[in-house]
């Protein structure tokens, strides 16, 4: 079974929880913790890879290459955020082929005017519904694997209102979208109306432990499943958690530098053995044991057992 078929099967079983990933570490952690799928986000890549806000600075090939590394490092299916599709329907046609070749199982395309911006920012502008429908049509035509998912995102709720957003979503489904993603829904009622009207799986993005009120209010995963949501993403949860962890660790390091205080806080840090386990160093060691000449293994490890590439003390 391909990963795309695996994702389709998961969607048929019930709500798929897909935390947002933005690098190999976060993707491996999502898989390690037992989640069945993940999702990349333009904001995560823009912030982490470029050190820039999510305002359309990430290029298509930068996005594709980041997705390629993530998709090949985990066994779970990963869906990509392809932003606006990086141009007109012809560009979208090529984008689909690049992202599919990268190993992701589907991609979001949104109806914002390029350069786009993060869905939770103000100042969004939209292309026409007709143009977006043509982008979806081109995307469907371009995909080689029929299980590859074209997820049509609309940002129209914040710009044109809910009813117009629903009209747009129906047009995108008629053009062939496999899934729709209404950004910035603000109530259970809006989610339910979308699910009842579009006739394809609906994907919702929510925050998780965000201090300020997000555009979409916090809802329990159980309640989203009851409403009939097919997929829920938490795009900013892991980047936000990583930033908080780094902030706390660096605070303690700064205190050590300035005041000489030694902090023993293993709760803030992954141990070396945990890192090597997460990253699969044992597989590298197994390959070394299988393929390296015995004299080279002797020089590297002194005849001891090869447990990890990084020898345990």
**CATH code of the domain containing 153:** 3.20.20.60
Q: Which domain holds residue 281?
A: 270-313
Instruction: State which of 213, 235, 257 marks the end of a domain.
Output: 235
Do 142 and 98 share a domain, yes or no?
yes
Do 16 and 89 share a domain, yes or no?
yes
Do 184 and 64 share a domain, yes or no?
yes
Roughly what angle, to the nearest 10 degrees, separates helices 162-174 and 188-198? 30
CA distance 243 to 11: 31
pLDDT tens per residue, the chain (313 residues)?
A: 999 999 999 999 999 999 999 999 999 999 999 999 999 998 899 999 999 988 888 999 999 999 999 999 999 999 999 999 999 999 999 999 999 999 999 999 999 988 776 656 676 889 999 999 999 999 999 999 999 999 999 999 989 999 999 999 999 999 999 999 999 898 999 999 999 999 999 999 987 655 544 567 778 999 999 999 999 999 889 999 999 999 999 999 999 999 999 999 999 999 999 999 999 998 988 898 899 998 888 888 886 655 554 444 4
Residue 125 tokens, joined: 């502008």
pTM for the model? 0.92
Instruction: State which of 209, 235, 261 marks the end of a domain.
Output: 235
Tell me if 256 is assigned to some domain: no
Do 220 and 296 share a domain, yes or no?
no
DSSP string, 232-258: EEETTHHHHHHHHHHHHHHHHHHHHHH
Tell me if 252 is assigned to some domain: no
Do 166 and 306 share a domain, yes or no?
no
Angstrom CA distances, 187 to 162, 228, 266, stand at: 11, 14, 40
Do 28 and 76 share a domain, yes or no?
yes
Tell me if 311 is assigned to some domain: yes
Tell me if 245 is assigned to some domain: no
A 10 A CB-CB count for 288 gives 15
Q: Are 221 and 36 in contact (CB under 8 A)?
A: no
Tell me if 253 is assigned to some domain: no
Number of H helices, E strands in the chain: 14, 8
Do 24 and 131 share a domain, yes or no?
yes
Do 157 and 63 share a domain, yes or no?
yes
Tell me if 255 is assigned to some domain: no
Q: Which of 13, 18, 81 is nearest to 231 (CA)?
A: 18
Tell me if 247 is assigned to some domain: no
Domain count, the chain: 2
Instruction: State which of 235, 262, 281 marks the end of a domain.
Output: 235
Do 57 and 204 share a domain, yes or no?
yes
Tell me if 251 is assigned to some domain: no
- Host H or E run for residue 150: strand 149-154
């Amino acid at each position: 079974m391909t990963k795309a078929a695996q994702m389709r099967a998961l969607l048929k079983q019930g709500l798929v929880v897909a935390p947002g990933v933005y690098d190999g570490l976060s993707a491996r952690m999502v898989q390690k913790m037992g989640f069945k799928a993940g999702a990349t986000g333009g904001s995560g890549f823009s912030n982490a890879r470029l050190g820039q806000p999510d305002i359309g600075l990430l290029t298509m090939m930068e996005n594709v290459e980041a997705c390629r590394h993530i998709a090949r490092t985990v066994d779970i299916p990963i869906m990509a955020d392809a932003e606006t599709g990086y141009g007109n329907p012809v560009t979208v046609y090529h984008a689909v082929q690049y992202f599919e070749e990268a190993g992701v199982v589907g991609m979001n395309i949104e109806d914002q005017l390029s350069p786009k911006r993060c869905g939770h920012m103000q100042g969004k502008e939209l292309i026409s519904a007709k143009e977006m429908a043509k982008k979806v049509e081109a995307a469907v035509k371009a995909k080689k694997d029929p299980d590859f998912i074209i997820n049509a995102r609309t940002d129209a709720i914040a710009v044109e209102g809910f009813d117009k957003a629903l009209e747009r979503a129906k047009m995108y489904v008629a053009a062939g979208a496999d899934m729709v993603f209404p950004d910035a829904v603000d109530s259970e009622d809006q989610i339910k109306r979308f699910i009842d009207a579009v006739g394809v799986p609906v994907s919702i993005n929510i925050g998780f432990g965000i201090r300020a009120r997000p555009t979409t209010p916090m809802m329990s995963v159980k309640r989203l499943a009851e409403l009939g949501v097919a997929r829920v993403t938490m795009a900013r949860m892991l980047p936000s958690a990583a930033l908080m962890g780094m902030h706390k660790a660096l605070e303690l390091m700064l205190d050590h530098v300035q005041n000489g205080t030694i902090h023993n806080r293993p709760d803030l840090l992954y141990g070396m053995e945990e890192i090597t386990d997460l990253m699969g160093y044992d597989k590298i060691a197994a390959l070394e044991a299988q393929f390296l000449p015995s004299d080279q293994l002797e020089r590297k490890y002194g005849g001891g057992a090869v447990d990890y590439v990084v020898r345990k003390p």
